[in-house]
Each structure stands twice: as structure tokens, then as C-alpha cells.
Structure 1
Amino acid sequence: MSDDDLLSDRLAQMNLQRCRNRETERRERIFNDKVRTIGVDKEALNMQMKEREKQEEAAREEQNALDADILHNSKVACLLHSREVKERRAMEKAIVDQRRAQQEFDPKDPDRCGKTDPGDAQMMLPGLVGEDPDSESRQRRQKEQLREWLIQQQSEQAAERHQRKLEEQRYDQSREDMDNTALQLQNLEVERRKAAVLANKEYNLAKIEEKRCQRVDRNDEGNQTGTGNHLRGQLTGVDAEPTPGMMGVPGSCPGSDRRAPQESLQQIIQFQKYQIEENKRAELEKKQNEEQHDRVRLDSARTALLMERQQAKLNKQLRQQVDSTNFELAETHKRQKLDMKRGSIDDSFFSKFNTCSR
């Protein structure tokens, strides 16, 4: 909305508010018992007369302005008509003078050609009057020039179509490369997730194996303690209190009434050696499992780091490729925009025209 419309609306609103205030004052003056006058409201009538005079004055000024515009337009039309009449008369007079100057035989004056001064006579080309002897060569040159222009336009259109096709191919190739890069990134992400899941699984299995080994070690320690107590009781002849984790040994007797035979002692010693070897083997397996778990964890961390670096490198290459493609497209659009503004016309186009006159 323009400022004029806002100003006109504001003025109309002010006039309406002024009329409402005036009407409110008039009603208070008329319907008030203390200040009301009997008869007609003289002030309202005077105000109405003033408003009517103002309206008539405004209408009179508008009519005067309209009359002045009509008078001005009438004067301009009269001047243009008179100028047109003068120009038409001058043109007709010039045509008549030209015809008289080019007339060679006058029926009213047959000896006019003989009276003409040879120096003032117009020099004419050999041949018929109005004949152009170079018309064929000029038409041939014009046809050759038109043929060259058509060939040039066709070649330019073909070059433009070829350029557009190359740009479309480059754009399709860039889109395909970006799609392939995105697919590679997705495959790398899937492989990284698989490696993380596998490492987590191996870690959980290692923890389970570690807990199982600890439980076996606790059971072995309890069995060894019970066996030692029982052996000391048999050797000293005193019954040892059984431990909760004590297990029976083949060939041993828990009684304390008699000493253990030699074979039982050898079996106990062999069993203890076997338990010691089992403990060593369990510790070795535990150590190997821990080392394997550490290797798996380091390998998974190294693989994840390499995959993250490779993904960052691919993202950087993809971003650079997208930036270069956008820059090439912007340059192409800018060149096409400049060509559209100039119309693809250079100075060599105008030099091909025939600038010489007859």
C-alpha cells in the first residue's frame, strides 16, 4: 500500500471523527434542558451552509481545472493539425517539384530538352532509365553472404548442442561418482558396525571364560586345602576338621584310627601334582585369553580408527568434488547469462554486412 493511500485513509478517518464529535456536541446542546434553545439549531444550520459553500467552491475549482485542461488540449490539437497541414502541403509541393525536375518532355513546351544546358543536365548511366547493371552480382554476393550466415548459425547451434551434451554427461558422471562414494561410505559404516559388534561379542565371551576360570580356581583351591588338612591328620594321627570345599580323594580314608598306607600317600602326592599342573595350565589359559582379548580389543580399536580416518578422507574428497562441480556449474551459468544478455553477437558479425552503397 502506498503512502498516498495511507494519507487519504488517515484524512478520511479524521474527517469522520470530526463529524462524529460535532454530532455529539450538537446532541448535547439540543437535548440538554439547561442550555437548549427553542426552535431550530442555528449553529448546525450555519455549519451546514459553510460546508455546502466549501463543497460548491471545491466543485467550482475542479470544473475550472477541467475546463483549463480541455482548453489546453484543444489548443494543442489545433497546433498539431496546423503543423500537419503545413507538412502535407510542403510534401505535396516537394513531390510536384521533383516530378517537374525529372520530367524530360513537356507537352506544353516540346523544345524544353533542347533548351536545357548540357552542363546542367543530369549524368545518366548507359542503358535504360532506372536499370541497375550490377544487380546480378549484388544478388549473387547477397546469396553467398546469406549462405555463409546460415552455415555459421548451424555450426554454432551444433557446437552449442555438443557443449550442452558434454555438460549433461559431466553432470551425470559427477552424480554417479557421488552416488558411488556415498555407497562406499555406507559399506564402510556397515563394516565398522560389524567389527564393533564382533569385538563386543569376543569381549563378552572372554569375560565369561574369565569368570569360569576364576570359579574353577576357587574350587581347586578349596579341594587342595581340604586334601592338605586330611593328609596332615593322617600323618599325625589327629583328625582334622573337614572343610566345606573338601572333596574325596581316590584311595584315601577319612578315618584316624590307623595310619595311611604308602600307596595312599603316593596317590595323594600324584593327585596334588596333578592339581598343581591343572592350576598352572588354567593360569596359562587365563593369561592367553587375556592376551587374546587385548589383541582383539587393540585390533578392533585400530580398525575403527582406520575406518574413521578413511571415512573422513572420503568425506573430504566428496566435499571437494561437490564444490568443484558447483563452481563449474556456476561459471557455465554465468557465461550463458552473459551470452544471453549480449545475444552472442560480436564485432565480426557486423563486419560481414555490405556497407558500400550503389
Structure 2
Amino acid sequence: MYKLDLPIDLKEKAAIERRRRAEKERQGRIFNAKHRQIGIDKEALNQQIQDRNWMDDLEQKRAAAFAQDSIRNDTIAQLLQRRQEYDTRENNRAVNEFRALHQQPSAQREWDINDPDFLKKDMPARVSDDDPRCGIAGLQKFQGEDLNSRARNKYQQEQLREWSRMQQENQKRTQQQQQAADQLFFSKQIELDQRAVELQQADEQCRRDINKSIRNYNDALFGENQERRALKKRQEDYDNYAEMANMASSDLLTENPDQAISQFGPHRVVPDRWKGMNEDQLRRIREEQQKQAEEKKRRNEEEQQRENEWNQRRIAEAKAGMILEKQIERERRENEHYLYNDNQRLSNEQRNLKAYLDRVVYTNQPTAAYFTQFNSSSR
């Protein structure tokens, strides 16, 4: 009914065989203690570190060589640049010396045309009126020119001197007139000053007369004021004496007790007139104070009695508390004793159970076959 002799798939067989072979190789690598490695390869790492250090040293040497080469090239370039600058300066100096010695502007062929001082060195077109170079075609001499300028200038100078002399005479005459006017002004001023002095003297005399009359009036007024003050003082003295007499006989100084009775009732007094209590009032007050002292003493005795009762009650409660604490302590010790006995019983039971297990239950000891089944696969 069922066909059981089917051929095995070659691919599956090859895969199974490949896995078996890989498993054996893996077991050979893992179970071989000589070739098995656990952790990292320290020798390989050390070799890598040495290679890296060697490369770093090589790179540093290479960089140092390049640096030395760069420094040498820079030095050579600086020397060449200095040499070139020196040659340039020497050439420029030689050129300037040649120009200064052999190429002066005055040695040029066109110097008479380009000379900036040519006009300064040349003669003017007309030196004087008798200059023979001034011909008809030169347009340097014309009719109507002022040929007598020297005589005219001399005449003008004499005229200026005459005008100056006339101005000096006018100034002198003006000064004389001014002096005469000043003399007249000074004389008039002296006359006015004398008049002012006379007026001032008259004014001072008038002031003295006025002050004298005012002083007389003030003296009379002072006497009148003195009389008025004396009269006023006598009146004040009389009033003071009368007031003193009234005060001496008044109810205030005599301390009349009837004046302190208020209009609102005999039990009320006027505060500003009250002079104190009488003997009857003082006696009633002392009796009231005595009653208050006795009442206070009675209350203190009652308070002391209540305090004693409370103290006795607290002592009784403290004794009851101590008895209760002793009873609780006794019960606690009994509970601890019971718990100790119970623990002893449980300990004996566990000890017996362990002995039973060791003697009866745990009797099957493992053999060598039990340990060989471990580490038999690489998985």
C-alpha cells in the first residue's frame, strides 16, 4: 500500500554530511586544548603595536626631513632675495649718480626754452623813456605819457607838508579854545560846590532843631508812660492782694468736703474738688479688704485640698500601672518560654527528617557514566 523504499535525496544527504563534518571539525577545534584560544591574541596585538610605532617613527623622520629641507630652501630664498635687493639698490644708485653728473637740465639743448627763470634773467621791454630799443614799431612809448612824474611827485609832497602844517595850527587853536572852556567850567563848578556846602550846612542846622524838638517830645511821652505804668502796677498789686485773701478763705484751700458732693447724687463726687475720704469711708474700705483677704485664704485652702486629692489619685494610678506592667512582663516571659519549647520541638523534627532522608531516600549515588554524558557535543 505504501512505498517505503524511496531513494534518499542526494542534496539532503550532502547537507547532512556537511553538517556532520563541520561538527567534527568544530569539536576538534574546541576540545583540543593545544589549539584552542580563549580571549585575544596578545602576540598579534603586540606585533601590530610595534608596526604602528615603526610607522609613526618613520612618519616623524620623514616630516623632520621635509622640515629641514623647507628650512634650507627658505634660507637660500632669503639669501637670493637679499642679493637681488642689493643689486637693485646698487643699480639705482649708479643711475642716479650718472644722472647727477652727466644729465643736468642746464646741459640740455632746449634749456633756454624750458628755463623757468628765463623771464627773470631777460631785460624788460622798456628800461626808460630814452631806451634806444623803444622804436616806433615796439609799441613801448606813446604820446600823453607822464614824463614829468618826478616833478609832479615833488610838488605833491610839498602840498602834503603844507596841509599838515595847517592841520597842526588848527589843532593848536582848538586846544587853546578847549582849555579856556575848561577853565570856565572849573570856576563854575567851584561856585556850585560852595553853594552846595552852604545848603548842606543849613540842612544840618534844620535837622538839629528837628531832633531837639523830637527829643523833648519823647521825654514828655516817657514821663507820661512812667506814670501810667506806676498806676497800673498799683492796681495789679491791689487785685493780687484781694485774690490772695479770697483764696485763703476759699473752699479749695480750706478743703471743705462739702464742695466735692456732686449734683447727681451723694454717692458721686466732683474729681477736681475731692480732697479724700473721711474716716467712715476708710473704715468701710478696710472692713471690705479684710473680708476679701479671708475669702482669698479660704479659696487657697480649698485649692490646696483639691491639689492633695489629685496627688493621691496620681499615686494610686501609678501603682496600678506598675502592677499592670509586671503582669504584662510575666505574660511575655511565659510566651517566650512557650515559643522556645515549640522551636526545640520543630528542630528535633527537622533533624529526624534529615536523618531519614539521608538514610532512606538519598541512597542513589551518581556513577562515572553520569558525568561522561557532559561535554560530548560542541553545542
In which range does the TM-score fall when normalised by the shorter chain?
under 0.3
Per the normalisation by structure 2, the TM-score is 0.24
Per the normalisation by structure 1, the TM-score is 0.25
Higher CA-based Rg: 2
